[in-house]
Amino acid sequence: MTPRLSPSLVLAGALLALAGCASGPVVREPARDAFVLLSGGGTPLSNNYSQYLQAKAFATYFQRRYADRPHWVFFGVGNREGEAPILADVRRQVRRDGRLVESWLPGPLRDNRPATRASFLGALRDEVLPMVRGGGTLYLFVGDHGTESRGDNKESVITMWQLRKAEGRDSWSTDNAETLGVAELRRVLAEGIGRGRVVFVMTQCHSGGFHELGSPREVAPPVEWFDRRPAWLRPPAAAPALSAAGFTATDQASPAAGCDPAPDPDTWAGYERYVPEALLGYDLFTLAETGSGRRSLAEAHEAATLVDATIDKPRSTSEHFLETWARAIERIAEDPALTPRAAAAVTAYRWSVDTGRIAAASPALREREVQYARFTRRITEQAPSAGPRLVAGTRAGLEGDFPAGGRGGGSGRSRGGPDEARRAWNEVVRPAWKKAVLAGEIPGLAAAALGFEQRLLELEDQGRNFMTSRGGDALLNEMFWRSGYARPATLDVAKAEAVTSWGAMRREKVGAWAHASADSSVREAATRMRLPGGAPAAGRVASAANSRPPADALDQRTAAARILFYRRVLAAWEFLETMGHTAALEQLRTLTALERTSLP
């Protein structure tokens, strides 16, 4: 029962409240900082071990350095240290007998929560934002998968945890609607952050659109730049005001590198690895301290950018803001209504983009120019064969036809094998192979592996394709559930390894059997399918490794794109200074200062 106050106490309290309103200061909520990690999205087929290494490093950093400050961790299905795992949610490839073989493990983290929309956004609204709305800083780290939405108004999207358990049943299904886009995250933050602010770093594919948390998607040139108002000139749609800035691995349209089910200390590369290593000062494999770490995300971003020789295109919110202005400047460049002053500034902008040189002399712009000079020197070292061409190239040259190569990234998949290969498998090889399997004529195929192969054959009888499709998700899904890795509490390791080992070698074993078949039609069909185990084609290089570029080489296309980006950013900044656009320059200063926020 709720206790009741006497009328005299109620009156006294009201008088005190009125007196406080009349003469005392307004009591504000105390400013507190908060740390939030979001990672481990998708399903166990895509939530790779590299993501867990990164997430574990951040979670450990929170505990070691900021144990007395509020922090939240959202990873995968929500497995917690010291508790029975819900599901194995981390995919890890291990090398066994010279092959990369699939395995899975739960990714437990201390005080972990599911990386679902409801879990994450609910905590933001009810727990995190109330902490920082009095003027604190939310440090947001996202190491998830990401994509770009479809349609006319595309935006960057974070892939949340998508495997959902059926109510009251031990069955799971994938919910592709478990995503979080820029507009929704910005709205939730703006509604609850008050006088607080957000500083973020994101390493997922297509992450660059999240700079629009604190930077406008479009900007409009002032009408004063024209002799008469152009008919097309409209103010851009207003976005919720939000004090937010940070760093991303790439732009909105591009994949990022680093996400790897078999990360190796010598070869794992990308912003996903370099940023946490620079910021935290940890070895991500052992969590041993390798240094003191950096004082801010800005310092960590610069350190990561200098060593990143992958497809990544690292950038900051202030750079994104200036690139938005670069697009606006390029849009008005041919407008006949430009004033002579604006037309001259456009000419200077084009010259700066073509040459990489600027004439403005503000200290902040010169400081950024020096940073970009360091980045460019490093790029020419990472792509030495094109170094002089990159530095001397005009805009047209940098937008030209450069060969792509080097390390890849993202989650692109081709859609399937050609029709000829499918027919050869379904009509010739598979019927003969199935007959041999059921007759017990395949050496080394016994017990768990035999049961798994029989399961695959049954599903193929129903129209499934495990042999000629590319991407491998169908086979990967069967291995996850049939091996027993999915449920760690009842895991039979020997059976699990037998199943996944067979999954890794199935194509190879089928190829060796088919090429050795006494039936010439089976041998010919295996050749059409390009199954392994046949004689190498004349002149074919035996190992693809011999034709790969060096592991630390930056492909020329990415190198050219990075250099052109730096030039356009500097030229846009110079243009704004030349035109005296005070409001834009003030917003630029605000974003840059926010990016350089020191860690507490």
**Residue 285 shares a structural domain with residue 340:** yes
pTM, 2 dp: 0.89
Element of type H or E holding 197: strand 197-202
Name the DSSP class of 62: H
For residue 16, being part of any structural domain is answered with: no
**What is the pLDDT, as a whole number, of residue 501?**
95
Contact 156, 209 (CB under 8 A): yes
Which residue numbers in the chain have pLDDT < 70?
1-29, 168, 239-240, 404-418, 469-472, 535-552
- The one-letter amino acid code at 45 reads L
For residue 302, being part of any structural domain is answered with: yes
- C-alpha 66/C-alpha 298 separation (Å) is 19
Q: Which domain holds residue 268?
A: 34-403+561-595
Tokens of 482: 């049939």
Residue 170: φ, ψ to 5°: -95, 60
Domain tally, the chain: 2
**Residue 292 shares a structural domain with residue 184:** yes
For residue 373, being part of any structural domain is answered with: yes
- C-alpha 426/C-alpha 447 separation (Å) is 25
* Number of Cβ atoms within 10 Å of the Cβ of 82: 6
**What is the pLDDT, as a whole number, of residue 413?**
36
**What is the pLDDT, as a whole number, of residue 470?**
57
For residue 413, being part of any structural domain is answered with: no
For residue 452, being part of any structural domain is answered with: yes
- State how beta strands 71-75 and 112-113 pair: parallel
- C-alpha 174/C-alpha 330 separation (Å) is 43
- C-alpha 123/C-alpha 38 separation (Å) is 12
Tell me how far CA of residue 202 lies from CA of 141, 285, 321, 568, 587, in angstroms. 6, 20, 17, 23, 22
**Residue 454 shares a structural domain with residue 584:** no
- C-alpha 525/C-alpha 190 separation (Å) is 61
For residue 409, being part of any structural domain is answered with: no
Render 435-490 in DSSP notation, one character per residue.
Answer: HHHHTT-STT--HHHHHHHHHHHHHHHTT--SSS-SS-HHHHHHHHHHHSTT-GGG
**Residue 339 shares a structural domain with residue 235:** yes
* Number of Cβ atoms within 10 Å of the Cβ of 299: 16
* Number of Cβ atoms within 10 Å of the Cβ of 58: 27
**What is the pLDDT, as a whole number, of residue 533?**
82
Tokens of 411: 């989650």
**Residue 436 shares a structural domain with residue 491:** yes
**Residue 484 shares a structural domain with residue 339:** no
Rg (CA), the chain: 29
Tokens of 272: 């996903």
Tokens of 564: 């052109």
**Residue 452 shares a structural domain with residue 573:** no
Name the DSSP class of 80: B
**Residue 431 shares a structural domain with residue 394:** no
What is the SS3 assignment for 303? helix
Name the DSSP class of 338: B
- The one-letter amino acid code at 566 reads Y
**Residue 276 shares a structural domain with residue 228:** yes
**Residue 397 shares a structural domain with residue 424:** no
Tokens of 160: 């949340």
Residue in 266, 308, 305 with CA at minimum distance from that of residue 283: 266
For residue 23, being part of any structural domain is answered with: no
- State how beta strands 145-148 and 156-159 pair: antiparallel
Domain boundary among 486, 517, 535: 535
**Residue 285 shares a structural domain with residue 167:** yes
Tell me how far CA of residue 164 lies from CA of 168, 417, 539, in angstroms. 12, 30, 50
* Number of Cβ atoms within 10 Å of the Cβ of 20: 12
**Residue 391 shares a structural domain with residue 494:** no
